[in-house]
């Protein structure tokens, strides 16, 4: 990067193309913001994390039977919706199918770019770093509901607030 004149403060993660071009030279598109020119996007980081997790077999592939079942359920729902007597009934059938599909997909382990952020926040909190400091580091407001979503909601047994009452056996 120094040889290319790109060893400068700014972006840590930069584009590189198959020809070895780095940063702004690597991409055909340029942003208007000079500070972000040549960097990779959040979508790129997300794709990299998902690809690496999949390659490490941390996320499951649907089996052929699961794919066939999903396709069959979609066909059946669409056929039932077409045969419904009213638009409301048709919409209710499709809504029920979409809700079921979303629930099934949510039950599958996913690792994405935000998983890195969540993991880092949880590790800092588990290490005893004050939540206010973690929130500032992760660029959240300390009273942010978005920050609360990253925190673990369950207390471990050693953090149980009733232990101080001396009632435990």
Question: Can you tell me which residue has the tokens 């590189």?
Answer: 16
- Residue 125 tokens read as 């909190």
pTM score of the predicted model: 0.51
Model confidence pLDDT, tens digit, residues 3-51: 766 666 666 777 778 888 777 777 666 666 666 666 777 788 888 888 8
3-state SS class at 14: strand
CA distance 156 to 169: 17
pLDDT value, residue 94 = 94
**Would you say 147 and 140 are in contact if contact means Cβ atoms under 8 Å apart?**
yes
Residue 123 phi/psi, 5-degree rounding, is -65, -40
Model confidence pLDDT, tens digit, residues 77-133: 999 999 999 999 999 999 999 999 998 888 887 788 877 788 888 889 888 898 889
Residue 22 phi/psi, 5-degree rounding, is -115, 145
* Helical ranges in the chain per DSSP H: 42-55, 64-83, 87-106, 113-126, 131-137, 145-150
pLDDT value, residue 46 = 85
pLDDT value, residue 157 = 66
CA distance 27 to 48: 17
* Helical ranges in 9-86 per DSSP H: 42-55, 64-83
Q: Tell me: pLDDT of 58 over 90.
A: no
Q: Tell me: pLDDT of 62 over 70.
A: yes
User: For 61-87, what is the mean pLDDT?
Assistant: 92
- Residue 87 tokens read as 């638009």
- Residue 145 tokens read as 């509901």
Model confidence pLDDT, tens digit, residues 149-161: 777 666 666 766 7
């Amino acid at each position: 990067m120094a040889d290319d004149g790109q060893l400068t403060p700014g972006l840590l993660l930069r584009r590189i193309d198959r020809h070895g071009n780095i940063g702004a030279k690597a991409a055909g598109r340029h942003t208007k913001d000079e500070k972000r020119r040549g960097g990779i996007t959040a979508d790129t980081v997300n794709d990299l994390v998902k690809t690496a997790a999949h390659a490490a077999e941390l996320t499951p592939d649907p089996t052929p039977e699961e794919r066939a079942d999903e396709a069959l359920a979609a066909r059946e729902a669409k056929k039932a919706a077409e045969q419904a007597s009213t638009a409301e009934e048709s919409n209710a059938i499709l809504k029920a199918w979409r809700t079921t599909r979303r629930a099934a997909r949510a039950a599958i382990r996913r690792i994405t770019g935000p998983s890195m952020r969540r993991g880092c926040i949880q590790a800092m909190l588990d290490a005893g770093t004050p939540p206010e400091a973690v929130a500032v580091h992760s660029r959240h407001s300390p009273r942010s509901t978005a920050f609360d979503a990253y925190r673990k909601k369950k207390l471990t047994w050693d953090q149980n607030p009733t232990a101080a009452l001396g009632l435990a056996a």
